[in-house]
Amino acid sequence: MNVLFVGDIFGRPGRTAIRRLLPALRNELEVDLVIANCENSAGGKGVTESIGRELFEAGCDLLTGGNHIFAQRGSEDFIEAEERLVRPLNYPPGAPGRGWMIHESQAGPLVGVINACGRSFMGPHYDDPFRAIDMALEEIRPQTTIVFVDFHAETTSEKVAMGWYLDGRVTAVLGTHTHIPTADERLLHKGTAYITDTGMTGPYDSIIGDSKESILEALLTQRPKRFEVAEAREVSLNGVLISVDTNNGAATSIRRIRREL
């Protein structure tokens, strides 16, 4: 089984890359399932119902979130109702939506997907992601051994720690949030695929998706500045392709994927 995980989709340029590149990429790589992080898909922060539908129609099967998932006004109803989307499971109790899912694909085996936020430099409002994932796995593992974890975190050390913590218990631990693809993709000792950051799908002629001018002005003046999605000069789709042994849920390979628009 081949699963393509697409890194953070950023604004309109990222959505354009998905529409124009993903259909051919699915055929080229013989992809059975596409999981994509959508938490920056609406103007660089959050997701809306119409954008979620757009991503599904373009070929994304499942969507994951992150710390900006609720940034768009009115998105809570969509996040609550859409069973193909997960937001970080370690939000405080009562948050709309779900933090994990089991996808019942007609073309393959059951697949579990978990989304979690790290806590280092991510704000004080997240519960412990390690224990939260443990609790989710207690419900998922009796149903399927194929489990993908989108760990949305700031620091490399916390992401690496999560990889080793879950080694042998999930199929893959895939880092998101920092938007810069890392070169440390590997299979851990017990069969879990790992990468610290899958990168961004969006405008790379930018500062992690936003215009260079708006970010530099904020840094130089230390005054509030509205960040703007960068113009679509250099746009690319980034992610990883994971091959899975469906008999035991272990990953057999992981490789970075990058396509220019």
* pLDDT digit string, tens, across residues 113-129: 999 999 998 876 899 99
User: With 0-12 CB in 10 A as exposed, 13-18 as middle and 19+ as buried, what is 160?
Assistant: middle
Check 68, 152, 177, 179 and give the catalytic one. 68
In angstroms, the CA 255 to CA 190 distance is 18
pTM for the model stands at 0.95
Contact between 211 and 12 (Cβ < 8 Å): no
Would you call 68 a catalytic residue per the annotation?
yes
Q: Give the three-state DSSP class for 214.
A: helix
Percent of the chain with pLDDT over 90: 89
Look over the chain and give the mean of its residue pLDDT values, rounded to a whole number: 95
Q: What are phi and psi of 172, to 5 degrees?
A: -155, 145
CA 57 to chain centre: 18
Percent of the chain with pLDDT over 70: 99
Which residues, listed in sequence order, are joined to residue 80 by a DSSP beta bridge? Answer: none
Distance CA(126)–CA(98), nearest Å, equals 15
Q: pLDDT class for 107, splitting at 50, 70, 90?
A: low
HSE, side-chain direction, 13 A CA sphere, residue 206: 26
Domain extent listing, the chain = 2-260
**pLDDT (average), residues 98-111:** 90
Tens of pLDDT, residues 238-259: 999 999 999 999 999 999 999 9
- The domain made up of 2-260 has a fold known as Purple Acid Phosphatase; chain A, domain 2 (3.60.21)
pLDDT (0 to 100) of residue 64: 98
Helix (H) or strand (E) holding 130: helix 129-140
Average pLDDT (80-105) is: 95
Question: What confidence tier does 231 reach under pLDDT thresholds 50, 70, 90?
Answer: confident
Angle of CA points 64, 69, 72, to nearest 5°: 135
